[in-house]
Structures are given as structure tokens and as C-alpha cells.
A and B are shown apart, each in its own frame.
Chain A
């Protein structure tokens, strides 16, 4: 699910950029915010950080004693993406293995659909391996509608993994 969030943030402007005044300073703050935001990538609470949409406010700068940098407290609105347990979404198969497939959904690459969670499907090995049931195929580049049964936050990599399932009505490959 894509979320619109409002966040406080501390933007640090190095001393040498502080000659700029007014609009140029504001531009430096915005650029710095965008860089920090992109570098953050994701957090456990809000999910993946996509984009800053509006800068709501810039507070008064405070000089940091040791470095001479100035810290500006800002508030901005942005978009994030997070997977919720129990949520139903659509994604694309990007890898097929004997025991299941990996899906891509939004910015998340590590979404695993186990064979055990594909009722009625059997694995067919080959150059283009596929899971078949009587009427449909699950193979690379197919769109699948699934339900999220669990998510995991990986602190070191700053990303999420998810386990999903096709158990339920109206789930499975989408034509």
C-alpha cells in the first residue's frame, strides 16, 4: 500500500554552503533533504521511501558547535510503500524455482510465493520452468494476485521480505 506521510527531518547544511541567502539557501535545504531521503531508502515503520511531495515548513537554523554546520528542522510530506499482512495485491513473477516463485511488487523484489501456498499447481521444469494447474500457468512475467501472509524487515539491507499465498478466492494469475 502506498502511504502519504508527514515527517519531521533535520537537514544539515555544511558551513561553506551558508553564504547563500533566501531562495538559494532554501534550494540547498531542499536538495539536501532529497538526497537524505533517497539515501534512507526504507524504515521498518513506514516502509520504502519513494518521494518527497511537499516541503511544509523550514524552521530556524541551529548552529552545531563542533562542525559549524547549521541544522534546519523541516517538516515535509512524502510517499512511502509498505506491505501489510492480510493485504491483497498484484505483482509480477521474476524467478521460478522448484519450490516456489519470487514476485516483484512496487519497490519490493523479495516476495516469495511457496509451492505449498499455490493450491492445485504443479512444477514443470524446463528452459522456461512453470507452475501449472488445469487452467492456468504461473511463470516468469505473469501477473499474480496474492495475499500477504508475513513480512520481515532486514535492518542491514534496509529492505523488506514478504511471504505470500494464493489461498483464497479470486487469487492467482491475472490475465
Chain B
């Protein structure tokens, strides 16, 4: 990150390397950590493998804060949000917080309305409707 530009996720100023990094939603991380945990349990005869504090606290967190639990639903959420030309960071904040209105979505991710980007209210509304449908049928 350059020294001149102060970090500000609301404006998507998070450092060039992170703009291109893959971000994960809580529900995606929950599935990965669950799988990892099972794997580590199987390896537990070697080197006394138990999970780190960081792993444990994170797993507790994502279990509680996942809006979608079913792996197919999680995949669908990623797929739907990917259609809307969002940065990875923006996509994950929306998938985590599941705003209910266009107004709330813009408050959670202000950068979708700035930088001369073509996200009109209708497109955002459609996106939120698609997300809530997944929730209904989960």
C-alpha cells in the first residue's frame, strides 16, 4: 500500500494487491473450515494436531455469521453476485451482510455508487431480490 493514499474500504482503497486478491464470504469460509477440521481430526495421530486459537475463534465466528449454510446455496450466492461487476471485496461484504433494501446496500458498500460505475438502483434491487430467493429456498 502506498503511503500517500490512506486505506479506506468504503472507497475501495485497500491496496492494489488486495483489490486483486480473492475474498471469501463467511459462509464460504465456514464450509472450508468445517472440511479442514475434519481433515485435521483424521491426521491427529501425528504431531498432536489440534487447531490454533485463530482457527477456533474464526470457525465459531463464521458458523454464527453465515447467512447461507447449504453448499449449493453458497455457490449460488457467489454466482449471482459475480454477475454484477463487483470487486471481490464488495461482493463479500454484500454476501455477508445481506442488505434488504437498495439504500442499505449502498450504505454497506458505498463504493458501488461511486467511481462512475454503472450500478443503477434497479440493478441493485434485482441483485438483492435474487439473493433473498436463494435464502427462501435454502
Report the bound CA distance from A104 to B62 in whole Å: 12
Q: Is the CB of B47 within 8 A of A41?
A: no
- Look across to chain B and name the residue whose beta carbon is closest to the beta carbon of A5: B21
Q: A3 with B61: in contact, given A41-B52, A86-B10, A90-B97 (CB under 8 Å)?
A: no
Q: A2 with B36: in contact, given A49-B54, A51-B55 (CB under 8 Å)?
A: no
Q: Is the CB of A90 within 8 A of B65?
A: yes
A20 within 8 A of B: no
Chain B 81-125: CB-based contact to A (< 8 A → 1; otherwise 0):
000000001001100110100011001110000000000000000
Q: Is the CB of B61 within 8 A of A85?
A: no
| Chain A contacts for B24, CB-based, 8 A | 2-4, 79
Looking at B46, B97, B108, the one whose CB has the most chain A CB atoms below 10 A away is B108
Chain B 62-73: CB-based contact to A (< 8 A → 1; otherwise 0):
101100000000
- Look across to chain A and name the residue whose beta carbon is closest to the beta carbon of B105: A170
Report the bound CA distance from A38 to B54 in whole Å: 8
Report the bound CA distance from A81 to B33 in whole Å: 13
| Chain B contacts for A88, CB-based, 8 A | 10, 93, 97, 108-109
Q: Is the CB of B21 within 8 A of A3?
A: yes
- Look across to chain A and name the residue whose beta carbon is closest to the beta carbon of B101: A170
Report the bound CA distance from A54 to B50 in whole Å: 18
B129 within 8 A of A: no
Looking at A41, A84, A104, the one whose CB has the most chain B CB atoms below 10 A away is A84
| Chain A contacts for B89, CB-based, 8 A | 1, 84
Report the bound CA distance from A88 to B8 in whole Å: 11
- Look across to chain A and name the residue whose beta carbon is closest to the beta carbon of B39: A51
A48 within 8 A of B: yes
Partner of B97, one of A35, A51, A145: A145
Q: Is the CB of A84 within 8 A of B61?
A: no
Chain A 1-34: CB-based contact to B (< 8 A → 1; otherwise 0):
1111100000000000000000000010001001
Partner of B9, one of A5, A87, A92, A169: A87
**A2-B62, A85-B8, A106-B62 known; 7 other A-B pairs, CB under 8 Å?**
A3-B23, A4-B23, A53-B36, A86-B8, A90-B65, A90-B96, A105-B61
Show 9 residue pairs from A and B whose CB-CB distance is below 8 angstroms, ordered by the A residue.
A4-B23, A79-B32, A84-B18, A84-B89, A86-B7, A86-B9, A86-B13, A88-B108, A170-B108
Kindly list the 3 A-B residue pairs having the minimum CB-CB distance in the complex, ordered from nearest: A86-B9, A86-B10, A84-B9
